[in-house]
Amino acid sequence: MRKFIVILGLVIGLIYNFNLQAYCSNNNDAARLQTISSIGTLANSHKNEEALAKCNEALKLYPEDVELYYWKATIEFNLEEYEQALKDYDKAIAMKPDASDIYVMRGMVKSVIGDRDGAMADYNHAIKLNPKDSSAYTMRACLKVDLGDLQGANDDLEISNKLFDEMEKQSKTTSH
């Protein structure tokens, strides 16, 4: 289960990176975009130590950048530095409390360290913030399996699959 959570974290990171590129390109922040993109590329290539070093350097230039804290925490999660990852996800949430994806990632860390109540609270909050976040339903389903709530897990996976199918359909519609 832990390996699945780590892989899913990388996938969510990739999706976040693509969304970030669209956000930054709309805001003409090319240098920042390049920095964050290179950090994401390193992290997604399993070059976590290098990515973390680059992220720490970037935070000196952009100390209030929520995306950098998100990436730093994600990299720390990959390096199994869970307590530091929680602190950096907390910083990112303090800067952007309406970002459901950060709650999902923090919930994943909490799940790995055994804080099931905290993980469930984060997944529930992510769903409250963004009811169309399929990753929040997927991660909550994984936790429900661990808790023995198989029907609840099945219900969440059905919602997640439906949302994913809708997203895929919309993607095909907009690409034509």
Task: Report which DSSP code applies to 87.
Answer: H
Indicate the pTM of the whole model. 0.81
pLDDT at 6: 54
Q: Among 56, 60, 52, which residue's Cα sits nearest to residue 78? A: 52
Phi then psi for residue 63, to 5 deg, are -70, -15
Average pLDDT, the chain: 87
Separation of alpha carbons 11 and 116, rounded Å: 22
Q: What is the pLDDT of residue 152?
A: 97
Within its chain, how far is the Cα of 68 from the centroid? Answer: 12
In whole angstroms, what is the distance from residue 51 CA to residue 130 CA?
Answer: 29
What are the φ/ψ torsions at residue 98 (nearest 5 degrees)?
A: -100, 10
Mean pLDDT of 43-67: 95
Q: Which residue has the tokens 């920042």?
A: 32
Asked if 42 and 33 touch (Cβ cutoff 8 Å), the reply is no
pLDDT digits (tens, 9 = 90+) for 23-53: 444 454 888 889 999 999 999 999 999 999 9
As a whole number of angstroms, the distance between CA 175 and CA 124 comes to 32
**Pick from 4-8, 47-51, 64-68: least confident:** 4-8
Q: What is the pLDDT of residues 124-163, one digit of tens each?
A: 999 999 999 999 999 999 999 999 999 999 999 999 999 9
- For 113-135, b/e burial (b = at least 16 CB within 10 A) is eebeebbbebbebbbebbeebbb
Q: What angle do CA 37, 39, 42 make, to 5 degrees?
A: 110
Q: Write down the residue that tokens 């055994």 correspond to.
A: 114
pLDDT at site 4: 56
The tens digit of pLDDT for each residue in 76-134 reads 999 999 999 999 999 999 999 999 999 999 999 999 999 999 999 999 999 999 999 99
Q: Which two structure tokens, joined as six digits, stand for 169?
A: 């359909």
Domains and CATH numbers, the chain: 1-96 (1.25.40.10), 100-176 (1.25.40.10)
